[in-house]
Amino acid sequence: MIDQLMAAVGAWGAPALSVILAINCLGLPFPTSLLLLAVGAIAADGGLSATSVLAWGIGGAVAGDQAGYWAGRVGGRGAIRAVSARFHLGAALARAEAVSERWGAVGVFLTRWLLSPVGPYVNLVAGVGRMPWTLFTVWGLLGEVIWVALYTGLGYAFADSIPAAADLLGTATWFLLAAAATAALGWTLLRHRPRHADAHSPGAPRP
């Protein structure tokens, strides 16, 4: 698959990258993170403009996010039922709803680059839940900027060793996931800590 995607970028340049990322953000599972690494390496060799790659890449990703959001907003709960039934994505949509309920707009940001497999379904859920469009767009844009810039930047920096860049990203991703899980657990415990009543009622004798 990556060979075909690279061939499309080689033939059509950065606009092809934009289309691929837009389709991926609608739920088609392309290996886009690896593609961004490879495109960054090509930019380092002068085969593509780094500025063009960033602009087209971010634009395509945001366009895909927006399409998913508006599909959910216009289609409502029926859109989720239809997607779940037709493509057997009930589990993925349930995870997306859990992320949205826990994190809200921050969940949109995190699923652009850190929890990206669930991102397309968060877009749909955000639309169905009528998350304010401006809020969705701002957090989504911030996340897509990080995703595209991070992967293409590492591909640019490690142009001679893409596997090393992929390993580095894999390690960093697991570290960030562990840190996020720890922070979430700490916040949950803090919110649900028991509130002890005063040990001494009014007028009770003190030891």
Q: Mean pLDDT of successive 10-residue segments in the chain (207 residues)?
A: 92 97 94 92 94 98 98 92 85 92 93 92 96 97 96 88 58 47 49 52 45
Q: How far apart are CA 60 and CA 12, in angstroms?
A: 14
Q: How many CB atoms lie within 10 A of CB 14?
A: 21
The answer to whether residue 73 is domain-embedded is yes
CA 148 to chain centre: 11
Predicted pLDDT of residue 82: 85
The answer to whether residue 158 is domain-embedded is yes
Contact 147, 111 (CB under 8 A): no
The answer to whether residue 90 is domain-embedded is yes
The answer to whether residue 62 is domain-embedded is yes
The answer to whether residue 12 is domain-embedded is yes
- Provide the 3-class DSSP secondary structure of residue 183: helix
Q: How far apart are CA 102 and CA 97, in angstroms?
A: 9
The answer to whether residue 197 is domain-embedded is no
Q: Kindly report the pTM of this predicted structure.
A: 0.80
The answer to whether residue 168 is domain-embedded is yes
The answer to whether residue 126 is domain-embedded is yes
Q: How far apart are CA 71 and CA 65, in angstroms?
A: 10
Report how many domains make up the chain.
1
The residue range of the domain holding 78 is: 2-190
